[in-house]
Amino acid sequence: MRLTGTLRRRLLPRVLAGSALLAPAAWAQHAADLSVATSQPVRQSQDDAWWTGPMLANSAATLPRGHFLIEPYLYDATSAHADGWGSLTYMLYGLTDRLTVGLVPVLGYNRVDGGPDSSHVGFGDVSVQAQYRLTRSREGSSLPTISIQLQQTLPSGKHDRLGNRPSDGLGSGATTTTLQINTQTYFWLANGRILRMRLNVGQSVSGKARVEDVSVYGTTEGFRGTARPGNAFLANAAWEYSLSRRWVLAFDVTYRRHRDTRLVGFAVPGDAAALSHSSGSGEAFGFAPAVEYSWSPSMGVLLGARVVTGHNTTTTITPAIAFNYVH
């Protein structure tokens, strides 16, 4: 409908007056919306954070069915008079969405002061493990991801009959069973960035190892007997702060309490005098700062160092690098 000149002249002042009344309210609302937008940081999405995992704490998450993870570590466990160069590799496979199984082989080489070094790179004790996920953490929920992990360490590394090279000892000779509860959850900090936290607790129980001659337990030539490593309790907390999509700062704190290792046997075969020795129990405290960098959601690298000290425990500093690949 077309307005006449007279009607236009009557309506125009009213429209302008209404606009004048509405404009301040509209601008005030716009200013308020802008203030809220600028005062509250954007909440980082989980897809925007890429992780490799901290240096020590195992993940509570399981792999999707048919997917796998490979993560080799290279490290040097340095103490006052020795270096233990080695590698361990996590090789995990998602059997189902809730169940992940895997293998963790270990290689090592020892350098010692005042004695011969290892004659060659050798295998340490290999571990097989299975992890079953009970719950899954979801955004907006306080329930963390919780998993049960069962690990069996097999005595594949050399531990006795070491001759004049005790540094060739890379195993314990005993089977060790570890049951562990792993948890993982996410927090959003005031700046909108994600802080991921893991808290794991576990208990290890070891069997007896047959020991002959020179061994990792300090026995000498001619010894015949058994050794039983002490049971151990472990707690490990870790935090990862997402600086950006690719960069993450990580920090682990660990506590380990172990019972005494008992050694029983004879100095010479057939000798009636039995020998018995106990190493004593001990405690170890450790921490491990690290930096993570990811090229993609499925590939990244970690660089860090673990420091361990405590009662009846050798103080070590262990720099390490790890590569993480998930498919």
Number of CB atoms found within 10 A of residue 33's CB:
10
Question: Are 21 and 90 part of one and the same domain?
Answer: no
Examine the domain organization and report whether 111 and 213 are in the same domain.
yes
How many domains does the structure of the chain reveal?
2
136 three-class SS:
coil
Q: Answer yes or no: do 138 and 221 share one domain.
A: yes
Q: What tokens were used for 108?
A: 């090592």
Q: Same domain, yes or no, for 54 and 35? A: no
Q: Note whether 15 and 128 are same-domain residues.
A: no
32 token code pair: 């308020």
Burial 269-284 (b: 16+ CB within 10 A, else e): eeeeeeeebebeebeb
- Per-residue pLDDT tens digits for 193-237: 999 999 999 999 999 999 999 999 999 898 999 999 999 999 999
pLDDT tens-digit readout, 104-113: 999 999 999 9
Domain housing 293: 48-326
| Helix, strand or coil, per DSSP, at residue 39 | helix
Claim to verify: residue 161 and residue 214 sit in the same structural domain: yes
What is the per-residue pLDDT for 165?
Answer: 93
- My answer on whether 74 and 188 are in the same domain is yes
Both 310 and 288 in one domain: the answer is: yes
Torsion 54-51-83-103 (CA) sign = positive
Q: Do residues 31 and 64 both lie within one domain?
A: no
- Is 9 found in the same domain as 146? no
Residue 73 to residue 79: CA distance in whole angstroms: 19
What CATH number did the domain enclosing 128 receive? 2.40.160.40
Answer yes or no: do 149 and 287 share one domain: yes
Distances (CA, A) of 95 to 14, 72, 167, 179, 326: 74, 21, 38, 19, 14
83 & 135 share domain = yes
User: Could you tell me if 176 and 206 are in contact, meaning their C-beta atoms sit under 8 angstroms apart?
Assistant: yes
pTM beyond cutoff 0.85: no
Reported as a single tens digit per residue, the pLDDT across 110-123 is 999 988 999 999 99
